[in-house]
Structure 1
Amino acid sequence: MDEIDKLIERHQNLSKLSVAFLYSITVSIAVNMFWTPGGIYGSGVTGAAQLVSTVTGRWFPFHISTAVMYFALNAPLFVLSWRKIDHKFTLFTVVAVALASTMMHLLPGTRITADPLICAIFGGVVNGFGTGMSLRNGISTGGIDILGIILRKKTGKSVGTINIIFNIFIISCAGLIFGWVHALYSAVSIFINGQVIDMVYNKDQKLQVMIVTSKPKNVITQIQSEMRRGITIVHDAEGAYKHEEKTILFTIISRSELHDLETAMEASDQHAFVSVTDTVKIMGRFYQKHIY
């Protein structure tokens, strides 16, 4: 059994390394082929690294490249992640950021188009896809992701407000340096980047599950053995077709647990009626798995 666990862990590690390499390519393409040639800033630490690179190149006697600055800005967050989150998680984050910095340096800056709107759209799509794939496979791309995980662990809330403030700062700088038209394009790119991340990384989306069953004990036992979820039970329901006594069960799961739910239902009651709908907001206690 230990050998099987080792093989599974080795496969997971190789998958994470592959995804880290994929991210390094996508962020390099976004920065070197779309954002920088189009005068567009990305979101988070990537945008901050571009900003410092632009400022040092224009008004200082020395120039710090985006690749070097990207790693330098992430370095203090590695320490924070090592102390507050998890050592293995931090190591994969360092690998992802190091690969991204290396690829940004190696990949030649190519001006594909002079249209800043196209640069904004394609840069946001490419970077969003790479970032979303990384998060989906349990890898952080550094930056505000790390702050978000720490804040979520302590308060249960996301780092959305900090992320918005940080990106507003980057957009404002883009307006001052490149002009407000480019600031608008940067805002468009950041918005697209976020939307693509959400589409690719839908792991934490909450779903409401309603189960109508004649075998409530079996279903409850199976769900709670597969997932750490509370269940609300409504007794004495009646089916309108055969007038059979039913029990209605309500629970909330994340989208990543949808397959576990299907497995639990197949094992407990294959004839149960199951309805799964998106949940807009949850108030109260909800167990949130760590991403690492």
Structure 2
Amino acid sequence: MNKKSAKLKEKFTFKTFFFLTLAGIINATGVTMFLAPVKLYDSGISGTSILLSQITPDYLSLSFFLLLLNVPLFLYGYKKQGAYFTVCAIYTVGIYSLAAWLITDVLPVDVSIASPLAGEDLLLCAIFGGLISGVGSGLAIRSGGAMDGIEVMAVIFAKRLGLTVGTFVMIYNLLLYVICGILLQSWILPLYSIVAYAAALKTVDFLVEGIDRSKAAMIVTSKPEEVGASLSEEFKCGLTILDAKGYFSQSAKSVVYIVLNRFQITRMKNIVHAEDPTAYISISEVADVLRGEP
């Protein structure tokens, strides 16, 4: 076994597969218990699979189309995404497909005409279906995989089309819902499907990025020692001081970089301007903060 293979093997832990399994089961629950029974549509390849399962013979099930459409896309994106992502994604979709089959065809749960929990209430089905499937998708992403091959398509084709990955996914989903509306000759279900998509999207953001993002402050100041000392004493955290130079004034400046939570921002501003009233402060959101081992 070479070094690369050994390193890859170390990533595939029991914890990884546990959470990927949980993600697949949760996503299947949201789709089969809330969305599919009332003919609402999930986003991406999952939504496409729901549509195809409805307009084709009964033996071509949702589980069949999930595997048929997703697995080739993950394999196609192997070079760009790598072995770890590809294995995790295919495994997660396999669990999603298996769990969907068990719920619809094996377990004593009737999901043929209405949601077992929300009945025929489209709004409840859209919101809770989106939230639950979003939990599954977000958990899969946090664990290193994915629930849907549309992200792989976006990574491969978006740049060639002059689009961002997010825009590519959004356009795909909007086209999917338009096609659903045309085939159904009704726009009620596609519109409720957009509600489900929005709920799932926000849930994924919450799980992947957290409810309370950190804030990064870049402070351009001529008094870096005073500003740095006051911030460090107040917040008991590290910071970084970078050398800089003003473009128009050509005078020496310093940039103090510090990451805080949103409740500390106002205090930070007051401390900085007390030390240097002319300091320039730029604040931006930080999705992830990764700290190395000491």
Distance in 2 (alpha carbons) for counterparts of 1:230 and 1:126:
44
- Secondary structure of 2:77 counterpart: helix
Change (3 A) 1:133 1:215: farther
Amino acid at match of 2:22: L
**Of 61, 66, 79, which residue of structure 2 is paired with 1:65?**
61
- Secondary structure of 1:209 counterpart: strand
Change (3 A) 1:230 1:161: farther
User: Do residues 180 (structure 1) and 191 (structure 2) align?
Assistant: no
**Of 214, 218, 223, which residue of structure 1 is paired with 2:225?**
214
User: Do residues 88 (structure 1) and 84 (structure 2) align?
Assistant: yes
Give the Å deviation of 1:10. Answer: 4.9
Give the Å deviation of 1:150. Answer: 4.1
User: Do residues 78 (structure 1) and 74 (structure 2) align?
Assistant: yes
Amino acid at match of 2:154: G
Distance in 2 (alpha carbons) for counterparts of 1:56 and 1:89:
31
Match of 2:146 in 1: 140
Contact 2:243–2:254 at 8 Å: present in 1 too? no
Give the Å deviation of 1:101. Answer: 0.7
CA RMSD, 1 decimal: 4.1
Give the Å deviation of 1:157. Answer: 6.9
Match of 1:192 in 2: 199
Give the Å deviation of 1:194. Answer: 1.1
User: Do residues 22 (structure 1) and 22 (structure 2) align?
Assistant: yes
Contact 1:77–1:142 at 8 Å: present in 2 too? no
Contact 2:53–2:60 at 8 Å: present in 1 too? yes
> How do 1:79-118 and structure 2 match up within 5 A?
79-108=75-104, 109-110=110-111, 111-112=115-116, 113-118=119-124
Contact 1:67–1:104 at 8 Å: present in 2 too? yes
Change (3 A) 1:152 1:136: farther
Distance in 1 (alpha carbons) for counterparts of 2:273 and 2:98:
64
Give the Å deviation of 1:210. Answer: 2.8
Change (3 A) 1:240 1:105: closer
- Secondary structure of 1:142 counterpart: coil
Amino acid at match of 1:209: A
Contact 1:231–1:251 at 8 Å: present in 2 too? no
Amino acid at match of 1:214: E
Q: How many residues align?
A: 242
Match of 2:107 in 1: none
- Secondary structure of 2:13 counterpart: helix
What are the ranges of 5 or more consecutive residues in structure 1 without an aligned counterpart? 1-5, 219-225, 268-292
The normalised TM-score by structure 2 is 0.67
Match of 1:40 in 2: 40
Change (3 A) 1:177 1:249: closer
Amino acid at match of 1:54: Q
Q: Deviations over 1:50-109 (max 9, x none)?
A: 11101104xxxx641011101100122122222322012211111111111111111235
Distance in 2 (alpha carbons) for counterparts of 1:92 and 1:233:
44
Change (3 A) 1:255 1:25: same
Give the Å deviation of 1:134. Answer: 1.6
What are the ranges of 5 or more consecutive residues in structure 2 without an aligned counterpart? 1-5, 105-109, 230-237, 246-252, 256-270
Q: Deviations over 1:137-178 (max 9, x none)?
A: 322223112233446899997412221221112212332344
Distance in 1 (alpha carbons) for counterparts of 2:15 and 2:93:
16
The normalised TM-score by structure 1 is 0.68
Give the Å deviation of 1:252. Answer: 6.8
Amino acid at match of 2:225: S
Contact 2:216–2:285 at 8 Å: present in 1 too? yes
Farther off after superposition, 77-86 or 34-43: 77-86
Distance in 2 (alpha carbons) for counterparts of 1:88 and 1:230:
37
* Rg comparison, structure with higher value: 2
- Secondary structure of 1:214 counterpart: helix
